[in-house]
Amino acid sequence: MFQRVALVTGASRGIGRAIAHTLCKANFAIIVASPEIENNEKVAGEICACGGECMTLDFNVTSLESVKAGVASVMEKFRRIDVLVNNAGITRDALAMRMKPADWNLVLQVNLTGAFLVSQAVIPHMIRERWGRIINIASVVGEMGNPGQANYVASKAGLIGLTKCLALELASRSVTVNAIAPGFIETDMTAVLTDEQKQKMLEHIALKRLGKPEDIAAAVKFLASDDASYITGHVLKVNGGMYM
Catalytic residues: 152
What is the β-pairing status of strands 28-34 and 132-137? unpaired
216 contacts 173 by C-beta, under 8 angstroms: no
97 contacts 104 by C-beta, under 8 angstroms: no
Encode the chain in three state secondary structure: CCCEEEEEECCCCHHHHHHHHHHHHCCEEEEEEECCHHHHHHHHHHHHHCCCCEEEEECCCCCHHHHHHHHHHHHHHHCCCCEEEECCCCCCCECHHHCCHHHHHHHHHHHHHHHHHHHHHHHHHHHHHCCEEEEEECCCHHHHCCCCEHHHHHHHHHHHHHHHHHHHHHHHHCEEEEEEEECCECCHHHHCCCHHHHHHHHCCCCCCCCECHHHHHHHHHHHCCHHHCCCCCCEEEECCCCCC
Q: What is the amino acid identity at position 146? A: N
